[in-house]
């Protein structure tokens, strides 16, 4: 009986119920009907809009405050976030902030250490922890739009989904298709792709930035979650508005936030310093190389280990020098008393140091690859 009392019955019955509904009605729809291109397009469009509202709104705006925007954009994010049916922004952010603060511990609400399926879905079937006494979301409770959405969430969730389904029905003339595809199936996709970040992105992938937590970078998930798959980076640098930091990284959420900033609709975009990112990567790669050498068939292991130490020490010194030069140049540009020649000199010095560092970094990557190819003992 005690276990039954600990179950969040509304959440359990809702999630179980729509899965059964989808499993029953979707095959029937495809047996008797054929979806139009417009219906498919609208379903995909609503999936993208609601997904980006979760990633750019619930996650990077509300949960982590990686950028700021105006009330209109917040309202749009909340509208499509409500459409995604993942709870209110306040509850979502509360659970996510606790996840970051207590990752992989008993207090982590969706810790993967309790099992893949616990992190993916089962954690939602437990009674929710109260939010009223915690200060973890005090900033969000002061936001009238977020407070309104949280207070009337169930009604708003039903309302916006009925509204969009009605619009799809009017556009396509297909009520059954509008309901089962643009609402239920779209909701199914939205849920499981987001849940994969809690489960699969802590389970299968690469740890390029930190091994102190279970989060991994999973490039397949990036395409399913609008850039959220760079999860090891995110847990290491949670205050960065980007998850994929390279220009070629597939991160539509980052592109959306950047575009909003260029249109004057977003500001104060937070980015982690490149020197800090590289320093952490260097530390992690060094530890991985030392471990590889110790467990490999190779002569004179001490000599190779010493080379790794010298290489990383040299790169670390250059990164510290780069960091100091960047700071000095920034201060010089902001100081009206500094001569233009001084700023120019610092700029040239910084350019040369960056060039030298890039050359050494390429050599380090080649050296690292040669070590990682060593055969295990």
CB 127 within 8 A of CB 7: yes
d(CA 234, CA 99): 13
> pTM for this one?
0.86
Q: Cα-flanking dihedrals φ and ψ of residue 165, to 5°?
A: -65, -40
Give the three-state DSSP class for 223: helix
Q: What percent of the chain has pLDDT over 70?
A: 96
Comparing CA positions, the residue from 220, 233, 224 lying closest to residue 54 is 224
d(CA 81, CA 144): 16
Contacts of 105 (CB under 8 A, 6+ apart): 111, 113
Q: Where are the beta strands (DSSP E) in 42-105?
A: 68-69
Q: Please write the tens of the pLDDT for every residue from 11-28.
A: 989 999 999 999 999 999
Q: Please write the tens of the pLDDT for every residue from 38-92.
A: 999 999 999 999 999 999 999 999 999 999 999 999 999 999 999 999 999 999 9
If you average pLDDT over residues 179-204, what whole number do you get? Answer: 95
Element (H, E) at 96: helix 89-101
d(CA 69, CA 258): 12
Q: Long-range CB contacts (< 8 A, 24+ apart) of 300-305? A: 304/371
Structure-block tokens of residue 254? 């980052």
Give the three-state DSSP class for 266: strand
Q: How confident is the model at residue 353 (pLDDT cuts 50, 70, 90)?
A: confident
């Amino acid at each position: 009986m005690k276990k039954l009392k600990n179950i969040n019955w509304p959440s359990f019955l809702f999630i179980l119920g729509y899965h059964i509904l989808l499993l029953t009605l979707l095959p029937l729809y495809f047996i008797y009907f054929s979806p139009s291109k417009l219906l498919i397009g609208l379903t995909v469009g609503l999936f993208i809009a609601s997904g980006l509202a979760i990633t750019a709104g619930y996650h990077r705006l509300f949960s982590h405050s990686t950028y700021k925007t105006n009330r209109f954009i917040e309202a749009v994010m909340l509208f499509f976030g409500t459409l995604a049916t993942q709870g209110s922004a306040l509850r979502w952010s509360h659970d996510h902030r606790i996840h970051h603060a207590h990752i992989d511990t008993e207090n982590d609400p969706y810790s993967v250490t309790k099992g893949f399926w616990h992190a993916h879905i089962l954690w939602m079937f437990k009674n929710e922890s109260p939010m009223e006494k915690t200060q973890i979301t005090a900033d969000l409770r002061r936001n009238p739009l977020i407070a309104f959405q949280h207070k009337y969430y169930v009604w708003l969730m039903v309302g916006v989904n009925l509204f969009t389904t009605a619009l799809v029905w009017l556009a396509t003339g297909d009520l059954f298709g509008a309901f089962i595809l643009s609402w239920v199936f779209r909701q199914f996709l939205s849920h499981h792709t987001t849940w994969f970040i809690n489960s699969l992105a802590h389970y299968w992938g690469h740890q390029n930035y930190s091994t102190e937590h279970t989060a991994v970078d999973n490039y397949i998930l990036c395409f399913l979650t609008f850039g959220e798959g760079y999860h090891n980076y995110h847990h290491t640098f949670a205050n960065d508005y980007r998850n994929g930091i390279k220009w070629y990284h597939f991160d539509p959420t980052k592109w959306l936030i950047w575009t909003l900033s260029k249109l004057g609709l977003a500001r104060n975009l937070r980015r982690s310093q490149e020197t800090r990112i590289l320093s952490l990567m260097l530390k992690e790669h060094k530890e991985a190389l030392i471990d590889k050498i110790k467990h490999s068939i190779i002569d004179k292991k001490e000599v190779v280990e010493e080379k790794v130490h010298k290489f990383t020490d040299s790169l670390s010194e250059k990164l510290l020098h780069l960091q100091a030069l960047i700071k000095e140049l920034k201060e010089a540009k902001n100081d009206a008393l500094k001569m233009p020649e001084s700023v120019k000199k610092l700029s040239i010095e910084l350019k040369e140091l960056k060039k030298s560092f890039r050359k050494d970094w390429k050599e380090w990557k080649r050296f690292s690859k040669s070590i990682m190819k060593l055969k295990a003992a």
